[in-house]
């Protein structure tokens, strides 16, 4: 994210658009932003970024004219995140904040605890918005997480906090 911000450091409105595209996984190709194969309007993106639609247009043009940015933005993909819908599909979602997002093995430790409890992981996503201090691990498991398993996850190495969603 920092590398992207460096391209827009003198243009805060364009930076807002570029970061929105990145956070939402919207790709850029052929002069437009896409969610998968669905082209997104400049007006809709502008509304979400709270900028004028012309800023969206100039940001997309800058992305397309900058090989390093285009190499990144042309490969982005939106992804389904089950955490908010977990209860509707018979699952439980945990939002885990690490003590240090650079510490290796946090995900492995948590999935090992869940495996030993006989729980199946439906989805595990590391959400890193570019600032490691804001990183989260979202884990969606089939069924309900027993209290002793939840306690074990909370006590796992590298876990600062766990919130059930």
Q: How far apart are CA 53 and CA 14, in angstroms?
A: 11
Q: What is the pLDDT of residue 3?
A: 81
Residue 131 lies in a domain: yes
**What length does the chain have?**
165
101 and 129 co-located in one domain: yes
Q: What is the pLDDT of residue 165?
A: 83
96 and 148 co-located in one domain: yes
Q: What is the pLDDT of residue 4?
A: 86
159 and 103 co-located in one domain: yes
Q: What is the pLDDT of residue 129?
A: 59
Q: How far apart are CA 23 and CA 36, in angstroms?
A: 14
Residue 78 lies in a domain: no
> How confident is the prediction for the chain on average, in pLDDT?
94
Prediction pTM value: 0.79
pLDDT band at 133 (very low <50, low <70, confident <90, very high): low
**43-100: pLDDT as tens digits:** 999 999 999 999 999 999 999 999 999 999 999 999 999 999 999 999 999 999 999 8
* Domain extent at residue 55: 2-73
What is the DSSP annotation of 119-135?
Answer: PPEEEEEEE--S-GGG-
Distance from chain centroid for Cα 55? 24
Pull the structure tokens for residue 130: 């570019």
Which domain-ending residue is among 51, 73, 95? 73
Q: Are 92 and 144 in contact (CB under 8 A)?
A: yes
Nearest to 58 by CA among 33, 27, 77, 35: 33
């Amino acid at each position: 994210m920092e590398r992207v911000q460096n391209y827009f450091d003198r243009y805060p409105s364009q930076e807002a658009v570029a970061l929105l595209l990145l956070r939402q996984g919207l790709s850029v190709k052929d002069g437009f932003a896409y969610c998968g194969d669905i082209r997104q309007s400049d007006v809709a993106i502008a509304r979400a970024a709270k900028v004028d639609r012309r800023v969206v247009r100039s940001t997309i043009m800058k992305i397309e004219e900058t090989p390093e940015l285009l190499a990144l933005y042309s490969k982005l993909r939106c992804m389904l995140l089950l955490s908010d819908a977990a209860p509707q599909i018979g699952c439980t979602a945990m939002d885990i904040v690490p003590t240090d997002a650079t510490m290796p093995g946090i995900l492995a430790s948590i999935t090992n605890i869940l495996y030993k409890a006989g729980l199946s992981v439906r989805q595990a996503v590391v959400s890193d918005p570019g600032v490691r201090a804001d990183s989260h691990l979202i884990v969606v498991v089939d069924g309900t997480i027993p209290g002793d398993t939840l306690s074990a996850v909370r006590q796992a190495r590298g876990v600062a906090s766990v919130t059930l969603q």
